[in-house]
Amino acid sequence: MYRIIENGTSEIVEKKSRFLGYVISVDSADEAVEKITEIRKKHYDARHVCYAYVIDGQVKSSDDGEPQGSAGRPIADVIVHGGIDHCLIAVVRYFGGILLGVGGLIRAYTSAAQAALDDSILMELRSGYPLTIELDYNDYGRADYFFNEKKIPRTDTEYGAGVTMHLMVPSDLKDVVEKQLAEITAGKAVCEWGDETEYGITNGNIVSV
């Protein structure tokens, strides 16, 4: 599952009609409605403001006067297929005088929504266990290789008489990590596990949620 951490925008032109896309992170349906109202006020002279939002897996969409199924549903599909939650995408249309037909509208609204999504920054939501492990230098190299191979993110590494590594271990890898560390260190590693928690990943880095 993904969340938006930086909103995005887009603009495409299809047969003289302008389509302006907005991707906005929202915490509730009320906030989504508020953002849609703000967009309508900003683009008071636009022909249509179509949208879709997903909150806790619940989908709401609107064609706003476009033919049924030609705008709101395609926008919703972009959100759902992207595995994104707490996300609003609105697409404003300034009519250019040329009819696009249902197929053309679906392509245009999908393209504007996807382009705005591509312009935003996403955070992948995961669950995991904080791990602090103390190693001697003889074992550190193998442990470091193992963590890199499994793409387990680390938050800090301290070097002293030994090496202290701070990591966030994905929930589905906890048993594997415990077993592998026992083999690598012959049971000598000192491990301190925290409680399972939710965290975010963007560009390979941990982000607080």
Question: Nearest Cα to 31, choosing from 56, 64, 9, 8?
Answer: 56
Quick one: pLDDT at residue 209?
Answer: 60
Alpha helices in the chain (DSSP H): 29-42, 72-81, 101-119, 137-149, 174-185
The segments of the chain whose pLDDT lies below 70 read 207-209
What tokens appear for 33 in the block? 């409605």
Between helices 174-185 and 137-149, what is the axis angle to 10°?
Answer: 150
Quick one: pLDDT at residue 208?
Answer: 63
Quick one: pLDDT at residue 18?
Answer: 97
3-state secondary structure of 110: helix
Quick one: pLDDT at residue 64?
Answer: 96
Strand-pairing partners, residue 94, are 18
Quick one: pLDDT at residue 47?
Answer: 93
Quick one: pLDDT at residue 118?
Answer: 96
